[in-house]
Amino acid sequence: MPAGYEPQRYEHCSEGLTMSNDLAGVWEVALSDGVHRIEFEHGTTTGKRVIYVDGKEVLRRDWMFKLVGKETFSVGSSDTKATINIDAVSGFAYEYTLEINGKSLKKYMENRSKVTSTWLLNLDGIDCRVVLEKDTMDVWCNGQKIETAGEFVDDGTETHFTLGDHNCCVKAVSSGKRRDGIIHTLLVDGTEVAECTE
């Protein structure tokens, strides 16, 4: 080791863990219960593998003799399956890819944008991330599944719920075009909120 070289180690402190210098990959994954940060450490000299989800260690393997392979773990309150693939590229270079529910992260996020709608808004000084799962019509806000009441109306459906003292409604109406399908709109106290893309 070069003179003056000091490898970084984990330090337990009140604000969580400090990462070592073996950090190999960081991904942000948007699920219904929130956006989760996945961090992966790979010690290519020791064979160490450590996975953190939202700063919390969820998997640790020390002294792995096989440096390539995969590690599977769960993310979020719905225990979504995630897998980190470790592949040798050349010599001592490695490639790390994340799969969510068996799909590449890119494919998963593309599919997710088709099956969910997300809105970001600020209510009474609190940032809110509202997610609608289109297949079940479940509504989530800041990681919590919200109790809703659905009803059929002349032009589609309305899913009613409250956030604090605010009356909210997701309206689902046909676009009239087969390609566009159903359009979901969030109304808070009667005012439309623009949908965001994650």
Q: Distance between CA 40 and CA 121 in Å, rounded?
A: 31
State pLDDT tens for residues 9-61. Answer: 222 222 333 445 789 999 999 999 999 999 999 988 888 999 999 999 999 99
Q: Kindly report whether the global pTM for this prediction surpasses the value 0.85.
A: no
Taking the CA atoms of residue 150, residue 162, residue 192 and residue 140 in that order, the dihedral angle to the nearest 10 degrees is: -80
State pLDDT tens for residues 59-114. Answer: 999 987 888 899 999 999 989 999 999 998 887 788 999 999 999 999 999 999 88
Phi, psi dihedral angles at 114 (to 5 degrees):
-85, -30
Sheet strands side by side (includes 93-100) = 69-75, 80-90, 93-100, 103-104
- Return the SS3 of 111: helix
Rg of the chain taking only CA atoms, in angstroms: 21
List the beta bridge partners of residue 85. Answer: 70, 97
Closest C-alpha among 138, 130, 143, 136 to residue 186? 130
- Identify the pLDDT of residue 8: 28
